[in-house]
Structure 1
């Protein structure tokens, strides 16, 4: 690092993992080395940062209080480092992208391959989560930007990229197999399986908009778990089309009537805070979206926003 912030890097990563051994593996240290580094930082600051718990380590109240400032400091330092690298030709750097699991699985490999070919010395970390997770990571300087749905992104800035249709997810049995579209009001015909709060707000919004009151029996944060539950005749559900790519054979997925979609795109704090690597990656995705250059797996699912 340009500034001597190694101890703060270790602190921020340990706060993220909650485990000194995991932080050691991620950062190329030994576990005793991480413990020693954090003891030195605690001695320098004059108060403890972590306490032991049955699941690993947890931040003390003092550690929780300084964590946002440490993350901001590290983000500014990373920005400085990458601006210097940008002047030299963006030869190195680090990029952290937070995204829906479906985006990481279907969309990102295509764009990451092209980006890594052009900038092979930029390391990339992917963080997967629901809407609330991604917004928190971006707002808290844990991730450079997020790729998610537009709904409930708070104060973050937004760039629309793709429309992803919502689909009725039904068991592969009569009478569903003969249906080409599924009227939303028929979601009350059987038990309903709903994406958990904070994971994806679009389905909740659709139910509120249509005033449909399905018989919600199960909720899950795992989209593929929802598919498995529908496949095992536990109920009906609604999921974005991108989510079910690769598992369509398990269920009958058809468009809703009327149609609904989620607006997928990029959320970030502000342009001035984006590192050169983040700006280049965002530009790459934005240009391919305008050119309708989607990965083959997603081409039949997404419609680029114009």
Structure 2
């Protein structure tokens, strides 16, 4: 079956721009436009409407997109399984993850993975919890690396515990404190991660029943840290988020302690491609305690999926 036209359709739905799709897939923009026009003629209805800054799916295009993504996911699985049988390690792997994971954790895993499987192309998609769950559910990504909260019906593999920390300006009295009592959050203006980005902070606030004075909300970790550095308030963030920005602010453990569980979310084990299985196996086998900058990341107790089976 010739699936190129469906691959182009799915990518254009993702990018919202024929030129971007052409660049990503190695075609010219006129070739992409022509392919999609022929597909529309074949199907008998329009798939896209042109907007000022790109294209948008029609209602008909939105209706068939999940089926097209399922078709492409099955074809991808078949192609990689055939390559695996023939002893050829090729394919494409799409990983959805938090920005902090892609900045701090993934480079270590990617280096080892690419050394073993140089023929597998890896694409990263960064977003919040809601974004990642949607991308995995809709077959846009092979799996997600995120926190365990609010993953819906996806399957789960626990990997690490990441402590939540108080993020405060680099000044007294914070520099003299060994830990930050959570009840003192009410004495500072508070900067909160937006709903749908990371639910663990909201869960902590709900558990402690503390109501800080929220002055700002943001989906951007860098923006939150920058606001703290500029004395606009304090925040609570996962330690992994602040690691590469710690020179701008001061981190303090919370009293009492709270953490989040990071791991891998996927639709079902049988649907994972060989490339996805190999990458997950690479992650599971890595001892993060030996990576110096990750010394605060602890192994989670639960390992509920053996990828080598």
When normalised by structure 1's length, the TM-score is 0.97
Contact 1:90 1:277 in 2 (8 A): no
1:14 counterpart = 2:9: no
Contact 1:90 1:119 in 2 (8 A): no
- Give 1:122's aligned residue: 120
Contact 2:104 2:244 in 1 (8 A): no
- Compute the displacement of 1:75 (Å): 0.2
Instruction: Give a deviation string over 1:115-162, Cα, whole Å, max 9, x none.
Output: 111111111110000000000000000000000000000000000000
2:171 pairs with 173, 191, 210, which one? Answer: 173
User: How has the CA–CA distance of structure 1 residues 174 and 110 changed in structure 2, closer, same or farther, with 3 Å as cutoff?
Assistant: same
| CA distance in structure 2 between the partners assigned to 1:86 and 1:99 by the alignment | 26
- Compute the displacement of 1:176 (Å): 1.1
1:55 pairs with 45, 53, 69, which one? Answer: 53
2:99 pairs with 85, 98, 101, which one? Answer: 101
3-state SS, counterpart of residue 249 of structure 1 = coil
When normalised by structure 2's length, the TM-score is 0.96
- Compute the displacement of 1:292 (Å): 4.6
Instruction: Give a deviation string over 1:93-113, Cα, whole Å, max 9, x none.
Output: 110000101110111111111
| CA distance in structure 1 between the partners assigned to 2:290 and 2:5 by the alignment | 41
- Give 2:307's aligned residue: none
3-state SS, counterpart of residue 250 of structure 1 = coil
Aligned pairs for 1:1-306 (under 5 A) are 3-288=1-286, 291-292=287-288, 294-298=290-294, 300-306=295-301
| CA distance in structure 2 between the partners assigned to 1:36 and 1:295 by the alignment | 49
- Give 2:304's aligned residue: none
| CA distance in structure 2 between the partners assigned to 1:301 and 1:30 by the alignment | 47
- Compute the displacement of 1:301 (Å): 2.2
Q: Over the residues paired in the alignment, what is the CA RMSD in angstroms? A: 1.0
Runs of 4+ in structure 1 deviating by more than 4 angstroms, as ranges, are: 291-294
Instruction: Give a deviation string over 1:269-291, Cα, whole Å, max 9, x none.
Output: 00000001101111111122xx4
| CA distance in structure 2 between the partners assigned to 1:301 and 1:239 by the alignment | 14
> 5+ unaligned residues in a row in structure 2: which ranges?
302-309
| CA distance in structure 2 between the partners assigned to 1:115 and 1:34 by the alignment | 32
- Compute the displacement of 1:248 (Å): 1.0
Contact 1:98 1:126 in 2 (8 A): yes
> 5+ unaligned residues in a row in structure 1: which ranges?
none
State the aligned residue count.
301
User: How has the CA–CA distance of structure 1 residues 159 and 120 changed in structure 2, closer, same or farther, with 3 Å as cutoff?
Assistant: same
